Amino acid sequence: MCGCMAIGSDRAAAGGSPRVPLSTRLLDVMSSCWRSTAAMRDRCFLMIDDDSVGADRDEPTGLVQPRSPYCDRPVARARRARAQELIERLVAEGRVRLSEPDHDEVAEWRRVVNYAKRHGMEPAGRRIEKVPYGGPGLELFLADGPHPNARNQRPRAAGEPIPVPARLGHLHPVVATLKDEESRLVMPPALRRRSLLLLQGLAAEAVRRGYEVRKARSAFYPREGGVDVAVDGFAYTVSARQEFPESTNPERSTRLVLELAHGLGDRPGRWRDRKSRTLEEALGVILGEIEARAAEDTRRRQDEQQAKAEREVRWRAALDEAKQQAVREQLAHVLREEARGWQEATALSAYCMALERRIQELDGTTDEPALDSARRWLEWARAYVKSIDPLSGLPGMPRTREPTSEELEPHLRGWSPHGPERRGRG
C-alpha cells in the first residue's frame, strides 16, 4: 500500500477529532491512493501486473516489461519508414509531386514531413519545403539553408540603439508628408509628435542602411499612420497608433503601439512600451525584424524561382517527348492508311485477274459488245487499283506537321501544352 494510509492513521492517533466518520475517511484515503497509483502507472513510474491480483500470493511473479517507447511502436515505425523513403526520393529526384491527393493523404504527408523535421532526418544544410501544385496538388522539395522561422534565424535584439530625434526638423519626405496630413495619426498632440519622431528615427536608420522608405501603400484608419520600408524589393509597412484611445486612465491613454504589418507565423509584429524597454529602444528590434523578413522573403523568392526553373525544364522535356509521340502517331496513321490501301489494292488486283480470265473464257462464245464492255471495265479497274496501291511507286518518308494542343495533351502526363504553370486534363 502507499503512504496515504499511514498518514491517515497517524492523524487519527494524534488525537484529532475527525469531522466525518472513519469509514468515509478511509474510503477517501483509498480513493486518493488509487488515483496516485493510476497517475504513477500512466507515467510509467509504476507497473501493475493485473494477472497477479487473483494469483497465489506465495507464488513469485515475473517482472513486468515497461511500455515500449513511442519511436518503437508500429505507427511511429511506419511513419519513420515513409519519412526515410521521402528523403531518399527527394535526394534522388529533387521533387515529389502529388497531383490530386485527398484530404487524408495530404494530412498524412504533412505528418510524415513533420516527423522528418522533428527527428533530424533532413539532409545537412537543406530543409523540406511544401508548395501547392496545380490547385489541389502538393509539391515537396529540398531547399537550401535552415528555415527562416528557425530559432537561430530569428532577429536578435539590436546591438546599438537607433537614435530618435528630439525635434521634428529635417524630416524624411515621407514622414514630412505624414506630418502634414491631419487625417492621419489622429491622437493627442504629444502622442502624435512622438509617433512622428519614432517613424523619423526608423526612416533615417533605414536610409542609412541602404533601404528605401516609401509612402505606405496600406490603408490606415484615421488614428493610424506609417511608412513602408523596402528591402531587396520587398516593402514592409510600419505603423503607429494610440493603443487605448478611448481609455480615461491617464497612464493607459498615453501608450503607443508600433506594428509591422502582415506578420508571418509566430514572428513578432507588434511592440509596446514596457517597463524594461520603451518603443524608442525597440526600433532596432523592429528594423531587425524587417531585415529578417526580407531575408526570408528573398530565400522564398529564390526557392520559387528555382522551383519555377526546374518546373520549366521538366515541362519542356515532357513537351519534347509529347511532340515526338504525336509525330509518331502521325506517321503511324499514314502507315496504317498505306497498309489498308495496299490490302484493298491487292484484293482488287486479284479480282481484275479473275475478271481477265473470265473474259478470255467467254471470248468467242459471247457477243462482242458485251466483251468490249467487260474489257473497258477491266481497264478502268486496273487503273483504279494502280491509283490506290501505295506500292505502285516507291513510298517515301511522309511529311509531318506541328502537333496541335489536343494531339499533345494525351502524351503530357498531367502537364498542360500551354505552359508549366497550368495543368492538363490528362
| DSSP for residue 403 | P
Both 166 and 274 in one domain: the answer is yes
Q: At what angle do helices 22-42 and 4-13 cross, to 10 degrees?
A: 150
> Contact 420/315 with Cβ under 8 angstroms?
yes
Please report, in angstroms and rounded to a whole number, the separation of the first and last CA atoms in the chain: 70
Residue 249 lies in a domain: yes
The CATH number of whichever domain residue 99 belongs to comes to 3.30.1370
Residue 273 lies in a domain: yes
Contacts 24+ apart (CB under 8 A), 56-59: none
**Pick from 313, 315, 312, 307: which is nearest to 130 by CA?**
307
> Contact 342/390 with Cβ under 8 angstroms?
yes
Q: Where is the domain boundary, 147, 163, 188?
A: 147
Both 209 and 263 in one domain: the answer is yes
> Contact 345/388 with Cβ under 8 angstroms?
yes
Rounded distance between C-alpha atoms, residue 84 and residue 122, angstroms: 9
Both 4 and 105 in one domain: the answer is no
Q: What is the mean pLDDT of residues 327-335?
A: 96
Quick check: 46 pLDDT over 70?
no
Q: Which residue has the higher pLDDT, 161 or 356?
A: 356
Q: Where is the domain boundary, 92, 114, 147?
A: 147
Rounded distance between C-alpha atoms, residue 54 and residue 188, angstroms: 80
Q: Write a three-state SS string for 303-358.
A: HHHHHHHHHHHHHHHHHHHHHHHHHHHHHHHHHHHHHHHHHHHHHHHHHHHHHHHH
Both 19 and 119 in one domain: the answer is no
Both 160 and 142 in one domain: the answer is no
Q: What pLDDT shows up at residue 145?
A: 65
Both 289 and 413 in one domain: the answer is no
Total tally of structural domains belonging to the chain: 4
Quick check: 8 pLDDT over 80?
no
**Pick from 308, 321, 344, 326: which is nearest to 420 by CA?**
308
Of all residues in the chain, the percent with pLDDT exceeding 70 is: 76
Q: What pLDDT shows up at residue 424?
A: 58
Quick check: 171 pLDDT over 90?
yes
| DSSP for residue 400 | -
Residue 47 lies in a domain: no
Q: Where is the domain boundary, 83, 112, 147?
A: 147
- Name the CA dihedral angle for 276, 279, 285, 290, rounded to a multiple of 10 degrees: 160
Both 136 and 162 in one domain: the answer is no
Residue 186 lies in a domain: yes
Both 237 and 137 in one domain: the answer is no
Q: Which residues, 6+ apart, have CB-to-CB distance to 48 below 8 Å?
A: 37, 41, 64
Both 168 and 261 in one domain: the answer is yes
Residue 46 lies in a domain: no
Other CB atoms within 10 A of residue 42 CB? 9
Tens of pLDDT, residue by residue over 233-288, are 999 999 999 989 888 888 888 899 999 986 555 678 889 988 888 999 999 999 99
> Contact 225/185 with Cβ under 8 angstroms?
yes
Rounded distance between C-alpha atoms, residue 47 and residue 62, angstroms: 12
Question: Predicted confidence band at 43 (pLDDT cuts at 50, 70, 90)?
Answer: very low
Residue 129 lies in a domain: yes
352, three cell numbers? 481484275
Name residue 16's amino acid: G
Tens of pLDDT, residue by residue over 10-26, are 444 444 444 545 555 54
Element at 13 (helix H, strand E): helix 4-13
Q: What pLDDT shows up at residue 144?
A: 73
Both 159 and 135 in one domain: the answer is no
Q: Which residue has the cell 519614432?
A: 198
Question: Predicted confidence band at 59 (pLDDT cuts at 50, 70, 90)?
Answer: very low
Residue 74 lies in a domain: yes
Q: Which residue has the cell 545537412?
A: 124
Question: CA separation (Å) from 332 to 394, 400, 403, 406?
Answer: 18, 11, 14, 17
Domain, as residue range, for 32: 1-36
Both 296 and 367 in one domain: the answer is no
Both 337 and 418 in one domain: the answer is yes
> Mean pLDDT for the chain?
81
Q: What pLDDT shows up at residue 135?
A: 59
Residue 313 lies in a domain: no
